[in-house]
Chains A and B, each alone.
Chain A
């Protein structure tokens, strides 16, 4: 079978004082190839832990993950990751950053150049390819990060709040870019975000997670990502279903936050 399958994933962290934190409990997700899943939840619900486990940076306490039929253990170029910020290599130019994956594979220069040039065109950075990455703005840096990830042609792209550090305007532009890249490349994408609007706009599927222990609280299937591919995202937000969904999810997350605060007070 193709696609990403996560089955009863649990993660327990042991604390130095002898206690432990159940970061994830029996999380199961089945993702078909080409699906775009956004993951939303209050802080501490284990969404970043989930992503790190899928990427192979962390070994889960229990549970099995398979991608296209084979079991995941450890990081691999088939699962690319886009980080919030600061994961570009500042000692390399834009071109070298984007070409990092192909270089590591030992791809011939000409093929590499073709891929890099194409991707820089796609993300609109052709004129900046010889610049150092620290000379670029935050939005441009994230474009480089996207291009670098795509250069490896991964099966799954994992995005850990990739737009979290950008200003509102740049963020909106980048959201359109993510949708465009998703449609053009047909990649499977898992996107973690703090923003309810972003999760609604970009998630073909949306999972809301709950904390303590981290688990899946509710799952949605949404039409907005498909709409956003061809339309202005501001138009999508005017969709009759958008407002009520946003309110529903916001309330859900607020209730969770209140619950956390409540349990904290009880504990104290």
Chain B
């Protein structure tokens, strides 16, 4: 139910803002480009709408706030929350040979973790006595209504109706602020209305994640500061990647230049390339343990094949006419290597480096999920074991931001260092 409303609101914002920005605000935009509405394979004609991008990100946070009852949003924007307060329902108990008797159950619904003092209630008339219980929000609880009754289950007492509606074991009756289900053994089970909001255990409000981020940033998490956790992950990636590049690039060059090297290493490289680095984690742990060495070996292996293949294709991709031209201009083999083959392969190597950095970042997080003393992956895995969903979400966002940042940096470096990429 919540899901349907979620989708309706999301699609509503999408369609509404699209209409507003493309039809109302951008009136008169009808140049030739506007005719290119269908552009299969023609990237250039469709450009991302900046407004759409901003609204999209804003919408994510808005939806997050709406369905977690965020304090950043005014109350009227919140999705209906879970019921909180006092509610009652009546049950009808029957013992054979006697007239049925009604009694009232008062339920105190409070946030989870709050201790509740149960008030005294007037027991009322008849053999069935009034009850009072407390149930946490988003939870449900069995109400042993016969506990204080004069005649209970052992006397053959049965609950036959809730709020006057007939009920049998397994059936459910809606009450004002929740539902009552009769268990197989005949005990009413009260579930307060959950509303449409997400439980903080599953999805904390954005501001809670933010406060937790500030707290972790200042206090640290499990003996290490936040920066140390992230720094350790980054350090492993950089060292593993550099080692992979230092070995992989010369290996790729050798494979691109010598038939023997190509023949020797092709089976190894082509076999190792499709093996996901994650599949190597168990073996690396057996060999090198869960410390830094193991992580760096794993990332080295993740980067090695990618860099070797990138360097290999960079070398084999050189146009023969360029090599011929260099020969007929009097270049020696060493000069052709230095001035033609290496610069020609750099764009491919950069593409490989970008892919390798991305793969390494993913692999390091996964390796830390499995076993680590510190690191971004270890942080979210440990937090999840203690149900600290806010830390988990914070970690995921930070991992995403860093991964994105790495890619942006690599792109910038590529633009600066190999401006001739794709211009040959």
Instruction: Give me the interface of A with B, judged by CB distance under 8 Å.
Output: 52, 55-57, 75-77, 79-81, 83-84, 86-91, 100-101, 104-105, 132, 134, 148-149, 152, 154, 158
Contact = CB atoms under 8 A, between A and B. Distances in A.
Contact of B321 (A56, A75, A80, A86): A86
B401 to A, nearest CB: 34
B331 interface: yes
Contact of B423 (A75, A84, A90, A154): A90
A132 B346 CA distance: 16
For A56, A88, A104, the residue with the greatest tally of chain B CB atoms inside 10 Å of its CB is: A104
B324 A75 contact: yes
A230 B55 CA distance: 68
Given A91-B420, A132-B419, A134-B423, A101 B330 contact: yes
B420 A55 contact: no
A84 B330 CA distance: 19
Nearest to A79: B328
B319 interface: yes
B295 to A, nearest CB: 36
12 contacts: A55-B328, A56-B327, A75-B328, A76-B330, A80-B328, A84-B321, A87-B322, A89-B326, A90-B420, A101-B330, A104-B332, A105-B330
Given A81-B328, A134-B420, A148-B325, 17 more contacts: A76-B328, A77-B328, A84-B321, A86-B322, A87-B325, A88-B325, A89-B322, A89-B340, A91-B344, A91-B418, A101-B330, A104-B331, A134-B423, A149-B328, A149-B329, A152-B329, A158-B328
Contacts of B325: 81, 83, 87-88, 148
Contacts of B324: 52, 55, 57, 75, 81, 83, 87
Nearest to B322: A87
Contacts of A80: 328-329
B100 interface: no
Contacts of B321: 83-84, 86-87
B358 interface: no
B211 to A, nearest CB: 51
Nearest to A158: B328
Contacts of B319: 86-87
Interface string B395-424: 000000000000000000000001110011
B99 to A, nearest CB: 98
Interface of B: 319, 321-322, 324-332, 335, 339-340, 343-344, 346, 418-420, 423-424
B339 A89 contact: yes
Given A86-B321, A89-B343, A148 B329 contact: yes
A100 B418 CA distance: 19
Contacts, number: 76
For B332, B343, B346, B424, the residue with the greatest tally of chain A CB atoms inside 10 Å of its CB is: B424
A90 B326 contact: no
A56 B330 CA distance: 12
A86 B328 CA distance: 15
Contact of A104 (B322, B330, B343, B344): B330
A92 to B, nearest CB: 8
Nearest to B328: A81
Contacts of A101: 329-330
A77 B330 contact: yes
B348 to A, nearest CB: 13
Of all A-B residue pairs in the complex, the 5 with the closest CB atoms, nearest first, are: A77-B330, A134-B423, A75-B327, A91-B343, A101-B329
B327 A57 contact: yes
Contacts of B339: 89, 100, 104
A90 B343 CA distance: 9
A52 B327 CA distance: 12
Nearest to B419: A132
B328 A100 contact: no
Contacts of A148: 325, 329
A104 B325 CA distance: 12
A134 B332 CA distance: 25
Nearest to B320: A57
A251 B335 CA distance: 47
Nearest to B324: A57
B117 to A, nearest CB: 79
A177 B383 CA distance: 74
A132 B340 CA distance: 16
A90 B327 contact: no
A195 to B, nearest CB: 20
For A89, A91, A158, the residue with the greatest tally of chain B CB atoms inside 10 Å of its CB is: A91
Nearest to B327: A75
Nearest to B423: A134
A146 to B, nearest CB: 12
Nearest to B420: A90
Given A89-B339, A89-B340, A100 B420 contact: no
